[in-house]
Amino acid sequence: MPRASASLLPVLAIALWPIQGHAQEGPSFDCRYAETATERAICASPRLSRLERRMYRSYLGLVEAVGERQARRLADRFLERRQACGADESCIAQRLRVSMRVFERRAAGTTRLAAREAGEDLASEQAAPQEQVAAAEPLLPEDIPSPVAREEAAPVEDALIPDDSAESAPRSDQAAPAQPTEPDLPLAAQAPLPSDLGPLLHEEAPTAAEEEVATAGTPPSADQLDAAIDGADLASSDAAASFDRPTAWAFMALPRDQRAEVQARLQGAGLLDGPAEGSWDRPTQVALDAFLASEEGQGFDAGTETGAALALEYLRSDAFAQAHGIAAAEAPAEQAAPDPNDPLASAEW
């Protein structure tokens, strides 16, 4: 009996080999649980399956850069647009490619910003004068000569807490301990990598009113899509606008009509000299920087995405409109119809 079982092993290996090979060619999710027409179309097409796996790898890189919560929020928006394609393979391919490119650029921008801030912190530490380091030594217990000197030395825990009183101000012969800094992206080092595509599966597709799918005319080919994506920045951004900043991320996280509303408010305040159509461009970046540098905008921490989002929310508020004499019901300019020959015209990014 063992000999018979051993003789079956080569047969089983040959029988299972095509199945294993097919599984490696599938998408990142289990096709047995595909529910929507879009998921079934991806499972049925080797080309779409390969493209979906590439998109998923870009998503994992985004999770590493910004954390799972922010990555999922961005990915959910692209999932809605992808599910609206139904079984249209050309539409699905377009949405997968745009998603992949945005994930990669957002992750790269976050990495560059973190590296730049880390370099600034290191440079400031290296530039600290040696006298300040020596001045901090009397705070050590073994170097305090008497109880009187111990009373005169400020406790470390008190020195970390800022105080307006003169008694707690740092002395000229004593260096204040460095205050701890809070990272801009606290989730980046804590969020585990997802083991499957759970965050991106089985979501309800948006209604036709929420998302219009461009189906008129001949759908663009894969080569046209590659050329359009490689030769341009994000679809709603010009090449002169910097994207590696929290204000850009918070701006692009808004729906297009709300982005246009922010631009209209900046126009009404005399800060924006450009169109109010919801695109991230150089005039919008300059206008937001001018607002944040003003007395009115200095209270917002634009160095974090949360602070930048609060600043944009204030720009859309009635309080900002009243402060600048802008009619609250003022509507942004109508958007021009998308170019049917532009493969990326239907994409938000």
Phi, psi of 339 (to 5 degrees): -70, 120
| Confidence band, pLDDT 50/70/90 cuts, at residue 106 | confident
The model's pTM is 0.35
Q: CB of 74 within 8 A of CB of 20?
A: no
* Helices 46-66, 89-126: crossing angle, 10 deg rounding: 20
pLDDT digit string (tens) for 225-284?
555 554 443 444 555 667 778 888 888 888 888 999 999 999 999 999 888 888 888 899
pLDDT at 233: 39
Amino acid at 313: E
Q: How far apart are CA 133 and CA 151, in angstroms?
A: 21
User: How long, in residues, is the chain?
Assistant: 349
pLDDT digit string (tens) for 308-339?
888 998 899 888 888 888 876 544 444 455 55
More confident residue, 128 or 20: 128
Q: How far apart are CA 111 and CA 1, in angstroms?
A: 60
pLDDT at 203: 42
Q: CB of 335 within 8 A of CB of 255?
A: no
For range 61-76, the mean pLDDT:
89
pLDDT at 193: 44
pLDDT at 181: 45
pLDDT digit string (tens) for 202-231?
444 444 444 444 333 455 555 655 555 544
The distance of Cα 78 from the centroid of its chain, to the nearest Å, equals 13
For range 71-95, the mean pLDDT:
89
High-pLDDT (> 90) share of the chain, %: 16
pLDDT at 22: 43
Q: How far apart are CA 61 and CA 77, in angstroms?
A: 17
In this structure, of 81-90, 114-123, 180-189, 326-335, the range with the lowest mean pLDDT score is 180-189
Report DSSP letters for 20-87, one per residue: HHHHHHS-SS-GGG--SHHHHHHHH-HHHHHHHHHHHHHHHHHHHHH-HHHHHHHHHHHHHHHHTTTT
Q: How far apart are CA 153 and CA 197, in angstroms?
A: 56
Strands (E) in the chain, as ranges, are none
Identify the three-state secondary structure at position 256.
helix
Using the 8-state DSSP alphabet, how is residue 237 labeled? B
Joined tokens for residue 16: 């299972």
The distance of Cα 283 from the centroid of its chain, to the nearest Å, equals 21
| Confidence band, pLDDT 50/70/90 cuts, at residue 344 | very low
pLDDT digit string (tens) for 133-184?
554 554 444 554 555 444 444 444 343 334 444 444 444 455 544 544 444 4
pLDDT at 277: 86
- Mean per-residue pLDDT over the chain, rounded: 68
First and final C-alpha spacing in the chain: 64
In the predicted model, is pLDDT for residue 112 greater than 90?
Answer: no
pLDDT at 126: 59
